[in-house]
Structure 1
Amino acid sequence: MASPRNDLHWLALQLYRNLGTLELPAVRAQGLSLWGYEVLTRLIGEPAQSQLELAEALGLDKSKVVRVMDELEANGHATREPGPDDRRRRTIAITPRGRRAWQATRIALAKIEDSLFTQLPTRQRDTTRTGIRRLVAALDEMRTDASGG
């Protein structure tokens, strides 16, 4: 029997894969993809962005944002309008339908997270989230330093 892997990359990959598998039905129930949900989350926090700004904020390729926006627009969750100063620039906005889908998805995902966190003792739940946030911030800083930015 192979020994269990304990390196951070492997553990994070397993968490990502398995959590995504559990979350996918919840986002699909609202006519979204996981990336569609992430785009709507960004639009809730910072409305009226361009596709380029959205791509940069989410760390996605511009062509991926176009595909996700095609999906969101087709389902009535978001709109793309020509920018007021530059008609080539598309301003993205969430629709009321998109806001409702986002809210329903957020509630469903919170239930999944709560169920997962019941596997930890109560006092470790906040510590775990804090630790993960710190690791993400450290990796962002390391990546920025490595790229010279």
Structure 2
Amino acid sequence: MASDLPPDTTARVTDRPGDASPFALGLLLRRAHWRAAAVMEEALRPLGIELRHFAVLIVLVDRGPTVQRDLVAATGSDKAGIMRVVDDLERKGLAVRRTVPGDRRVRAVEITPQGVELFDAAHVSAEPLSARLVTDLGPGESERLMDLLTRFAHPEEKANEKASAHDGA
């Protein structure tokens, strides 16, 4: 009968400080994302857009005109979701769809000058709010956190740096 009891719950995964389970990093990153997303949504709300809209604008600013299927991959969205976001951006005059030369069926999404203005305004709006995210960190810790997260999120960049250094040696 004792084997029917659930295992001891003290060793179960959480996202609380000190959790050493193999899931702890992912759970902490998720919690950090939720916190950062809430602050960024607060910055975007007065501008009339949501984080999902801003994610597409980021890609368009970074890559230039981008076909919708590539927006799906770049934002982690799905095809229907991207269609709705691009529809919203077009309605607001922040992006336009254009045909791709050589393939009438494919549309590339391009940011408009009004979209670039809003993109820049979002950064100004977010600046004081983003400072709230790191108020509990000590001197230099914010920069260290950014460095660690960048290396964690973009491991291929580090691999490319090592390969370049090896080629030049």
Give the TM-score, by structure 1 length: 0.82
What residue is the counterpart of 2:48 in the other structure?
31
What residue is the counterpart of 2:16 in the other structure?
5
Q: How far does residue 50 in structure 1 lie from its aligned partner after superposition?
A: 0.7
Rounded Cα–Cα distance in structure 1 between residues aligned with 2:27 and 2:127: 24
Structure 2 unmatched ranges of 5 or more: 1-9, 18-23, 157-169
Rounded Cα–Cα distance in structure 2 between residues aligned with 1:31 and 1:76: 12
Q: How far does residue 130 in structure 1 lie from its aligned partner after superposition?
A: 0.9
**Which runs of 4 or more aligned residues in structure 1 lie more than 3 Å from their structure 2 counterparts after TM superposition?**
none
- In 2 relative to 1, CA 22–87 (structure 1 residues): closer, same or farther, beyond 3 Å? same
For the residue of structure 2 that corresponds to 1:71, the secondary structure is: helix
Rounded Cα–Cα distance in structure 2 between residues aligned with 1:4 and 1:137: 23
State whether structure 2 residue 136 is matched by structure 1 residue 119. Answer: yes
- In 2 relative to 1, CA 82–11 (structure 1 residues): closer, same or farther, beyond 3 Å? same
Residue 135 of structure 1 is aligned with which of 136, 148, 152? 152
- In 2 relative to 1, CA 122–74 (structure 1 residues): closer, same or farther, beyond 3 Å? same
Task: State the structure with bigger RCO (CA 8 A, min sep 6), 1 or 2.
Answer: 1
Amino acid at match of 1:89: V
- In 2 relative to 1, CA 47–4 (structure 1 residues): closer, same or farther, beyond 3 Å? closer
What residue is the counterpart of 1:85 in the other structure?
102
Deviations 1:42-75 (A, max 9, x none): 1111111110122122232222211110111111
What residue is the counterpart of 1:72 in the other structure?
89
Residue 33 of structure 2 is aligned with which of 13, 16, 23? 16
Rounded Cα–Cα distance in structure 1 between residues aligned with 2:39 and 2:54: 14
- In 2 relative to 1, CA 118–53 (structure 1 residues): closer, same or farther, beyond 3 Å? same
Give the TM-score, by structure 2 length: 0.73
Structure 1 unmatched ranges of 5 or more: 140-149
Q: Percent identity?
A: 28
Structure number with bigger Rg? 2
Aligned length: 140
Rounded Cα–Cα distance in structure 1 between residues aligned with 2:127 and 2:29: 19
For the residue of structure 1 that corresponds to 2:137, the secondary structure is: coil
Rounded Cα–Cα distance in structure 1 between residues aligned with 2:97 and 2:119: 18
